[in-house]
Every structure is written in C-alpha cells, then in structure tokens.
C-alpha cells in the first residue's frame, strides 16, 4: 500500500481548485439506471469510488464514455452514461463490499425492472450504518424484500406504488434511494423526515431535468409524483463541500493563506462559522465562487462543535476540526452525534502529541503548543485526511500509512497541497 510522507512546518499559500462532490456524484451516476437515454454529468471528480461505481454500473448494462476537460485533464471531467437495457439486476458482493454507496442501485433497479438483488454493502469501518431504512422505505412503496445469503432481494412484479415514507431518523442514502425509486412509482410518494443535504437537492435537480416531478427539495418533506418514464439530461455536479472545508483547515492549521476556487460558500456555513469562532479569517465571494482562508494573526482558539444533520456541522468534517483544535489555545469539546466509532483517529493524533480524551460520544481536546511528526495509520477516509492536516503542522516527518482511503475521496491531494508549498510526497508501495 502507498504511503504519504510529510515534512511539517510550512505555511500554505496559493490557490486550490475544488472538484465535484463525490457524495453528489455517486447517487447521480446511479440515476442512469432509471432511463434508457443518455445522462451526461460534468464536474465529475477523479476518485477511486467513482471508478468502483462505474464498474458496477457497467455490469448492470450501462455504457460509459468519459471525457476530460482542459489540457491536463483536471479541469473537471464529464461522463456520459447510457443504459439501454438492464442486463443484470444483481449487484455482486465483490463490487458492493468496496463502497457503501453501491446500495443506491437498489431503488433504481427495482423501479425500472421490478426486481433487484443487491449485496449488503461494505465501506469505511466507522460504526454500523444499517440499510434497514432503505428497505423499509421501499416496502412502503409496495416492494417485497428479504435478506438471503447476504443479499437484499427485492420484488415489485406489478411495479412500485406511491406511498407514505416516514424515516424514524434522518438518512441521506435512504432518502436518495427512495427519491429515485419514487420517480417511476405509480402515484404520489411523500417522504417525511427526509435528509436536507445539498447533495440530495442536486440529485433532485437532475431527476427533474430528466422529467421527474418533485417538490420540497431542501426541506424535511419531499413529494414525488411518479411518471411512466424518464429521459436523458445533462447536469453539472455541485462542488465538494467536504474537500472545500478540508483545504480551508489546511490553511488554518499551517498559519497560511489559501484561495479556494470553483466552490460554493453557501454549502458549508456551519464549518466556516466554527472556523471563524476559532480565530480564522474567512472571506466568501459567492459570485466568484471563492473562499479565502487566512490564519496569520495569533493562535487558534479552542471551539466546541457537535456534528448534526445538515445544515448543522457535518460529521465528515469532524476529524479535520479535531486536528485543528489539537494545536489551539485552551480546550475544545467535539461531540459526534451521527456515527458511532468515528474517533478512530484519536490514538493516531495522540502519537503526534495531541492531548485528547474520549468520553463516549465526546472528545475533550486540550490544545498543545505543537505536534510532532510520527508514523500513523489511516482508518477511514476523513480520519486519514485529518492525519495529513496534523502532519502539515507538525515538527519533523510524518508518514501516513494505508492512504488508499484518501484516494476514495480526495483527488490529487498531494499535488494540490504541494502547489501551495507543502512538503508532501507519495511513497509507492
């Protein structure tokens, strides 16, 4: 497995172009299964998770055509997806186990073909994320579902029917799955306690462009009036708010000055508010789609955060903020309310000198004067990038092992950071 080597202590200066959002791209890609016409998605990030899902879609019968935009191929890619017919309604274990988002093929396959067989998903080991909400939502639309030898086996021989879906807890993936399935259901579906994430609104906008009838995007209640068929469309994927927040914290943790471009400040209000409370200077320009982050006038200040569903502080930015708070003055309380077992980066940060004590779902971070480079181990996607951030600020050399996690969610991370002055390189296996 590759490793990343970092020599810390260099303030970052420059600009970083933000790519398309992985968490928006994945459900958008599965929407191709709802139509036999071409769906073209632009601003597609170049990530391992994208490649994994493309492979899965191809075995379902999707024809894939990738186009690079710009001379270096990194000015945003486009992909044209066309699924003239479904050649297989089985999503096999060998593919689905690599990425939890693969379960998003369940709703579209069931809606279009009336049956689907999808392996129970795998992915990052950050606590249980059951698919029961996906199953219960589809059952509310008339599907018959059972678990057989590790597979979700779903049947709707007479098609899905509109119905009432009330999620007992907010689930982004389940909202996306039911939203897509409901587009081809007979009648009207009302999704209550729906997730409000921007990525869901992005999916909804694409589905509407494909001919779906959807109301209430961005609210807790989404109403979908089913149609007999969807057609092709072209859609630009929204910017990645988690990548944006991560590089914003890279500027802050190193005492640097970075301009983030091709992003949307309105997507990460809670993250930017927490950073301002910690003493960061942040200038947003929605018209030019930029955010400038500086931290050059004094130390960071301890700041408490609690992860919440959108529009609250995102769980995918918790590990990065913990790294930031590890060098702040005073103490910070970071509470994780979304996922269990999402403090696996704490022992690794402690190896670098961080002073963190975990009490159940909360971590008390007492800031230290400086971190020290050390060999550390990545445990999941966001935890791995928090170790990179810590390494950028640490004295000496940090080696981050198991960086395949990073490749799932961050495009050209070393190249983007090195262009801003980071002393960072990849060590091939």
Catalytic positions, written as ranges: 124
Tokens representing residue 199 in the block = 């990525």
Please state whether beta strands 375-377 and 305-306 pair in parallel, antiparallel, or not at all (unpaired).
unpaired
Q: Is the separation of the CB atoms in 128 and 340 below 8 Å?
A: yes
Cβ atoms of 81 and 41 within 8 Å: the answer is: yes
CA–CA separation, 189 and 202 (whole Å): 19
CA dist., res. 54 & res. 256, Å (int): 37
Question: Is residue 180 classed as helix, strand or coil in its secondary structure?
Answer: helix
Report the C-alpha gap between 354 and 51 in whole angstroms: 36
Contact 38/14 with Cβ under 8 angstroms? no
Cα–Cα distance measured from residue 243 to residue 260, given in angstroms and rounded to the nearest whole number = 10
Asked if 272 contacts 282 with a C-beta cutoff of 8 angstroms, the reply is yes
Two structure tokens written together for 99:
């990425």
Question: Residue 168's CB: how many other CB atoms inside 10 A?
Answer: 9
Buried b / exposed e across 144-157, counting CB within 10 Å, b at 16+?
Answer: ebeeeeebbebebe
**Cβ proximity of 56 and 102 under 8 Å:** yes
Q: Which residue has the tokens 């689905």?
A: 96
Helix ranges (H only) for 8-166 are: 22-30, 48-60, 93-96, 106-113, 132-139
**Cα angle vertex 410, ends 83, 76, to 5°?**
55
Query: How many residues appear in the chain?
Result: 429
Tokens of 295: 């931290």
Q: Determine contact, residues 16/10, Cβ cutoff 8 Å.
A: no
- CA distances to 64, 196, 377, 389, 412 from 352, in Å: 44, 37, 12, 12, 25
Q: Which two tokens mark 69?
A: 């935009």
């Amino acid at each position: 497995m590759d490793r990343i080597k970092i020599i810390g202590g260099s303030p970052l200066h420059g600009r970083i172009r933000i790519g398309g959002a992985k968490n928006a791209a994945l459900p958008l890609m599965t929407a191709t299964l709802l139509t036999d016409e071409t769906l073209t998605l632009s601003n597609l990030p170049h990530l391992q998770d994208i490649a994994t899902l493309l492979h899965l879609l191809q075995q379902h019968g999707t024809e894939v055509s990738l186009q690079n935009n710009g001379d270096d191929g990194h000015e945003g890619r486009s992909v044209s997806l066309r699924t003239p017919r479904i050649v297989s309604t089985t999503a096999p274990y060998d593919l689905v186990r690599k990425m939890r988002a693969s379960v998003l093929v369940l709703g579209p396959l069931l809606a279009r073909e009336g049956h689907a067989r999808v392996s129970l998903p795998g992915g990052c080991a950050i606590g249980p994320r059951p698919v029961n909400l996906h199953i219960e939502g589809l059952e509310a639309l008339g599907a018959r579902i059972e678990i057989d030898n590790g597979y979700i086996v779903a049947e709707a021989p007479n098609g899905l029917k509109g119905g009432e879906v009330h999620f007992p807890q907010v689930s982004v993936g389940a909202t996306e799955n039911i939203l897509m399935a409901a587009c081809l259901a007979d009648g009207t579906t009302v999704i209550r306690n729906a997730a409000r994430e921007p990525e869901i609104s992005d999916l909804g906008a694409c589905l509407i462009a494909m001919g779906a009838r959807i109301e209430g995007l961005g609210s807790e209640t989404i109403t979908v009036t089913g149609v007999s068929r969807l057609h092709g469309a072209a859609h630009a994927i929204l910017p990645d708010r988690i990548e944006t927040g991560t590089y914003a914290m890279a500027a802050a943790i190193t005492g640097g000055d970075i301009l983030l471009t091709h992003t949307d400040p309105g997507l990460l209000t809670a993250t930017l508010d927490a950073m301002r409370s910690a003493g960061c200077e942040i200038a947003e320009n929605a018209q030019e789609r930029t955010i400038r982050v500086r931290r050059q006038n004094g130390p960071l200040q301890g700041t408490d955060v609690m992860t919440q569903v959108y529009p609250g502080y995102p769980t995918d930015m918790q590990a990065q903020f913990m790294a930031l708070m590890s060098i702040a003055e005073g103490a910070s309380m970071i509470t994780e309310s979304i996922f269990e077992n999402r403090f696996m980066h704490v022992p690794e940060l402690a190896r670098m000198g961080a002073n963190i004590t975990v009490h159940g779902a909360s971590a008390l971070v007492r800031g230290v004067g400086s971190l020290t480079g050390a060999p550390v181990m990545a445990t999941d996607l966001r935890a791995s990038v928090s170790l990179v951030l810590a390494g950028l600020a640490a004295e000496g050399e940090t080696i981050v092992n198991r960086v395949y996690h990073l490749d799932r969610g961050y495009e050209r991370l070393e190249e983007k950071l090195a262009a801003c002055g980071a002393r960072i390189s990849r060590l091939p296996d």
